[in-house]
Chains A and B, each alone.
Chain A
Amino acid sequence: MSDAPLIRIRHLGKGYVRGEQAIPVLLDIDLDVARGDFVALMGPSGSGKSTLLNLVAGIDKPSSGTIEIDGVDIASLGERQLADWRAANVGFIFQFYNLMPVLTAFGNVELPLLLTSLSGRERRERVEAALALVGLTDRADHYPNELSGGQQQRVAIARAFVTDPVLIVADEPTGDLDRHTGEEVLGLLEQLVSTLGKTIVMVTHDPKAAARAHRVVHLEKGVLVDAAGMA
């Protein structure tokens, strides 16, 4: 495995223009995240942590600076290339799970695999393995509305790693769960890092959730305030 950081962010800036007013959200961010790291992004509301996560995930475009992930400057990719890059390299975990209500747990986990060249049998094997890892083998045929919040988030976690991405981004993954279920979900994320070697960047408000990460990065008013931010 290379010693180079998986994520290398330099002079990253992001702002919006509303009417005639320019609103800066992120200012000159420099951040490295090593392979297999588990980073928590913390900060008050409006600090820019979700924006930073979106930029790292390739679902938003920076106003300035570079974001290199596994050697690829994703800021320079076009819409279509970025979509392909996300499909191959990023797994998503959302606060409200964002599962397709018309698909079963199996169907939801299989969804990102439909963008690969895997055969039906290979997809089935992968989905079964992912569901087994999150402990939902017996719920494969259940629809999201037949699952609890914690179970839905576990399905979302299985969907996030089933394609074997280098990076998993999680936006408040325990935000909609009770403490006990949240603990279980965090345990699963830790397991993804420790056993599968995944790199996770997680946004959270919860200091207890952040404490489970290897590293905590604080943002305030669009600026990194934690000197430990640089790896």
Chain B
Amino acid sequence: MFLLRLLLKNAFRHRLRTSLTLVGLVVAVCAFGMLRTILEAWYAGVETSSSTRLITRSNISLTFALPLNYAQRIRGVEGVRTVSWANWFGGVYQTERNFFPQFAVDPVTYLALYPEYRLPDDQKQAFFRDRQGAVVGRKLAEKFGWKIGDQIPIRGTIYPGTWTFTLRGIWDGAEARTDESQLLFHWALINETLRQTMKRRADFVGVYVLGIDDPGNAAVISQRIDAVFANSVAETMTETEAAFQLSFVSMSETILVAIEAVSLIIIVIIMAVMANTMTMTARERLAEYATLKALGFPPGFVVRLLFGESLLIAAIGGAIGVAATLPLAAAFGKAVGTILPAFQVSPMTMSLQAGAALGVGLVAAAWPAWRMSRIDIVQGLRHVA
């Protein structure tokens, strides 16, 4: 109790110094948390992918489409339960800054494969019935203030012309990290148009999305599918949804490594700042520690004082930092909108932030505590004079 009282009083003895150290710590913990959250958001697609879904795409490149008639042959492969498909639409809503993903899908099979998109049944049926219809995630609808029945005009970039969709449904994600930033519409709509305008591009799909019975057989099923189309004009590459998502993430791997490095550098910098604070503190109190030792307090008491004070400051700074990250991340997530759809501070990130803050506290006090525990009483007392 006495030690705690002394720690509290010592910690706020130099209010300005402690406050500035706390500000530095809060900023560092916040920045660390934000960068970790950016990393997690980047990998969210991988983490939320289902182990029962496979993606089949062109073996050459994702930009090469696959014939629609592959669907029937894939359906015949042992282990495949459901076959659906999707095309990247890449349209522009109002301006290029309003980016969000749009996919032309086969509605019934596609939504069956994504049960995490929770859509009321009446909205789902309305979407199925209306070829001009579209469904969107809740975040996207809120971002643009869309309501059921609204007309959404989208300028095509891959598929020329302006495409106007009627909003038939809004899904809620089953989990906080489920993507709610997409717009889905009927693949048949663009295919019919292509049949009339660019026959050569009709009856092709971007990727096949497959539902399988046993995730344990994913590798075998993938091999079976690719074997079916081996030596054909359009060979395929089948992989799990996680691997497919990871291939996108790995394109920006250098940036991700840099972000991770910066997040760690921030912690190292604040560690040095805090160590400097604690060293100054210890040097100023040299005579006090010598007096305590002269009175009979063991060296361990001085060590506890320094570690305690450092950990107390780190705990306060860490707690404020973690608390401040939540609204900051919410604001950031809102600002970046659909670019990082699942931008949320995870419990793991909060634990890492708390751990980093306490680590800073421990490391910062280590050197001064060791020095002060070994001070010569006579030399220390002379420090006053």
Give the B-binding residues of A (Cβ under 8 A). Answer: 54, 57, 59-60, 79-80, 83-88, 92, 94-96, 98, 100-103, 111-112, 114-115
Contact = CB atoms under 8 A, between A and B. Distances in A.
Contact of B296 (A60, A84, A98): A84
B47 interface: no
Interface string B350-385: 000000000000000000000000000110010011
Looking at chain B's contact residues, the main secondary structure is helix
Nearest to B300: A80
B52 interface: no
A114 B10 contact: no
Contacts of B292: 111
Given A83-B298, A85-B296, A86-B294, 11 more contacts: A59-B377, A80-B298, A86-B295, A87-B297, A94-B291, A98-B381, A98-B384, A100-B288, A101-B288, A103-B9, A112-B296
A96 B288 contact: no
B297 A102 contact: no
A36 to B, nearest CB: 23
Contacts of B299: 79
Contact of B377 (A60, A84, A88, A102): A60
A94 B291 CA distance: 9
A102 B15 CA distance: 13
Interface in B8-57: 9-10, 13
A54 B296 contact: no
Nearest to B9: A102
Given A102-B9, A114-B2, A96 B384 contact: yes
B381 A94 contact: yes
B198 interface: no
A60 B377 CA distance: 8
A115 B6 contact: no
A86 B292 CA distance: 11
B287 A98 contact: yes
Contacts of A94: 291, 381, 384
A41 to B, nearest CB: 16
A96 B296 contact: no
B293 interface: yes
B295 A115 contact: yes
B288 A88 contact: no
Contact of B10 (A83, A84, A87, A102): A102
A87 B296 contact: yes
B295 to A, nearest CB: 5
Interface string B323-338: 0000000000000000
B9 A88 contact: no
Interface of B: 2, 6, 9-10, 13, 287-288, 291-299, 377-378, 381, 384-385
Given A60-B378, A98-B287, A114-B2, A92 B385 contact: no
A85 B294 CA distance: 10
A-B pairs with the 5 shortest C-beta distances? A87-B296, A102-B9, A59-B377, A98-B291, A86-B296
A37 B302 CA distance: 34
Given A59-B378, A114-B2, A83 B384 contact: no
A60 B295 CA distance: 13
Contacts of A95: 384-385
Contacts of A115: 295-297
Contacts of A101: 13, 288
Nearest to B291: A98
29 contacts: A54-B377, A57-B294, A59-B293, A59-B378, A59-B381, A60-B377, A60-B378, A79-B299, A80-B298, A83-B297, A84-B296, A86-B294, A86-B295, A87-B295, A88-B296, A92-B291, A94-B384, A96-B384, A96-B385, A98-B287, A98-B291, A98-B381, A100-B6, A101-B13, A101-B288, A102-B6, A102-B9, A111-B295, A115-B297
Among A54, A98, A114, A115, the most chain B Cβ lie within 10 Å of the Cβ of: A98
A100 B377 CA distance: 16
Given A54-B378, A98-B291, A100-B288, A83 B385 contact: no
Contacts of B2: 114
Contacts of A88: 296
Contacts of A79: 299
A59 B376 CA distance: 8
Nearest to A51: B378
A171 B378 CA distance: 12
Contacts of B291: 92, 94, 98, 100
Nearest to A172: B385
B71 to A, nearest CB: 77
B11 to A, nearest CB: 10
A112 B297 CA distance: 8
Nearest to B293: A83
B92 to A, nearest CB: 64
Contact of A92 (B13, B295, B384): B295
Contacts of B293: 59, 83
Nearest to B288: A100
Contact of B294 (A59, A103, A114): A59
A84 B9 CA distance: 26
A94 B287 CA distance: 11
Contacts of B297: 83, 87, 115
A57 B377 CA distance: 11
A78 to B, nearest CB: 12
A112 B377 contact: no
A112 B299 CA distance: 15
A92 B294 contact: yes
Contacts of A100: 6, 288, 291
